[in-house]
Amino acid sequence: MEAALYDPEFGYYTRSDLKRWGREADYRTSAERSELFAATLARYFARVWDELGRPAQWTIVEGGSGDGAFAARLLQALSDHSRVFDATSYCLDDVSESSRTRAREQLVGFAERVSFDCRGSFEGIYFSNELLDAFPFHRITNSGELYVTLDPDNNFTWTTGAFSVPLLADFSLKCAEGQIIEVNLEVDDWFAGVAARINSGYVITVDYGAEEAELYDPVLRPNGTLRAFSRHKFVDDVLSAPGEYDITSSVNWTQVKRAGERWGFEVVEFASQDKFLLNAGLLEELAQRITRMETDADKFALTTDAREMILPGGMASSFQVLVQRRS
């Protein structure tokens, strides 16, 4: 998975010839789908700035920032809250050079407050949307790990072997006979890296997943949650054309919470994305934006976006938002 997604030349996220986001591409994230997502989060971020005592300088670091669509919309919306905006530096942290290049182009208007080297420590928010599900993970059973090899016809195929990392043996105890689960060990390293950089502040993570008990339920998910997407459709065989499509698994929220606790972060909120956005003021944001719009077509489009974000059973109801804080 590491090679299929991040190989410098052929990896899905590193290739510069692929259009990954958008209506005609492979998937649409909430950030890219509607300006309301970033605008509502801008309201929430402004409240966080208040809670942090209105620092004169603070930083929003966005992990897995992709093509910068969220950053551009968030900064645009934050500029309505002028005191927060004046205090804000924004750092985009993405492993993909081609994504960083696109983000640079999208963000020319905010060039003076945007940067791409996020290694220093900061006070503020570390935000990510659909980052954790893109980390390479291990697939294990109760007795070993699944690997990828070549069959006699030179096609990729699955094989089993011993655990590549001793810690996986602990996770295998959670696995029933015949069941396959994913273990995303990178989540722990990622949190340790984030915690080392935040002096005080928040980690806000948006993704799709479940608590561990549900995720590893042998009846609900006997084969785990590994899946691949191309042109908004599931790919039947994830080994058929590595580098051509996105590969993901659902996030184990219990693990993210546990990683946070290890570094002194408490859970402030954990909710489905639709409920979170409603509480954060999505409808107020919609009403405000509509009064500023001139055409009925624009008003209709924005209202439709809002409906999609809060509709029961819609996209946002299968995503969750976790807010963790360290004082």
Ligand X SMILES: C[S@@+](CC[C@H](N)C(=O)[O-])C[C@H]1O[C@@H](n2cnc3c(N)ncnc32)[C@H](O)[C@@H]1O
Residues that bind ligand X (CB under 6 A): 13, 21, 29, 31-32, 63-66, 69-70, 93-96, 99, 129-131, 134-135
Cβ-contact 307, 316 below 8 angstroms: no
* Least distance from ligand X to the Cβ atom of residue 50, Å: 25
Residue type, 248: T
Cβ-contact 11, 17 below 8 angstroms: no
Tell me how far apart the alpha carbons of residues 100 and 272 are, in angstroms, rounded to a whole number. 29
* Least distance from ligand X to the Cβ atom of residue 136, Å: 8
* Least distance from ligand X to the Cβ atom of residue 218, Å: 28
Tell me how far apart the alpha carbons of residues 171 and 67 are, in angstroms, rounded to a whole number. 35
Tell me whether strands 233-234 and 227-230 are parallel, antiparallel or unpaired.
Answer: antiparallel
* Least distance from ligand X to the Cβ atom of residue 161, Å: 25
* Least distance from ligand X to the Cβ atom of residue 91, Å: 11
Compare residues 64 and 201 and give the one whose CB is closer to ligand X.
Answer: 64
Compare residues 52 and 321 and give the one whose CB is closer to ligand X.
Answer: 321
* Least distance from ligand X to the Cβ atom of residue 206, Å: 8
Compare residues 1 and 175 and give the one whose CB is closer to ligand X.
Answer: 1
Compare residues 21 and 44 and give the one whose CB is closer to ligand X.
Answer: 21
253 CB contacts (<8 Å, ≥6 apart)? 209, 210, 211, 212, 270, 320, 322
Compare residues 18 and 95 and give the one whose CB is closer to ligand X.
Answer: 95
The two tokens of residue 67 are 């093509």
**Cα 12 versus chain centre, distance:** 16
CA angle (65, 71, 73) in 5-degree steps: 140
Compare residues 70 and 90 and give the one whose CB is closer to ligand X.
Answer: 70
Across the beta sheet with 58-63, the strand order is 114-115, 88-93, 58-63, 122-129, 198-207, 320-326, 266-272
* Least distance from ligand X to the Cβ atom of residue 132, Å: 9
Phi, psi of 18 (to 5 degrees): -100, 140
Compare residues 44 and 216 and give the one whose CB is closer to ligand X.
Answer: 44
Q: Note the helical H segments in 107-238.
A: 167-172, 186-197, 212-215
**Residue 90 DSSP symbol:** E
Compare residues 11 and 260 and give the one whose CB is closer to ligand X.
Answer: 11
For helices 69-78 and 35-51, give the axis angle rounded to 10 degrees: 60
* Least distance from ligand X to the Cβ atom of residue 70, Å: 6
- Token pair 């993405």 is found at 94
Burial of 274 (0-12, 13-18, 19+ CB in 10 A): buried
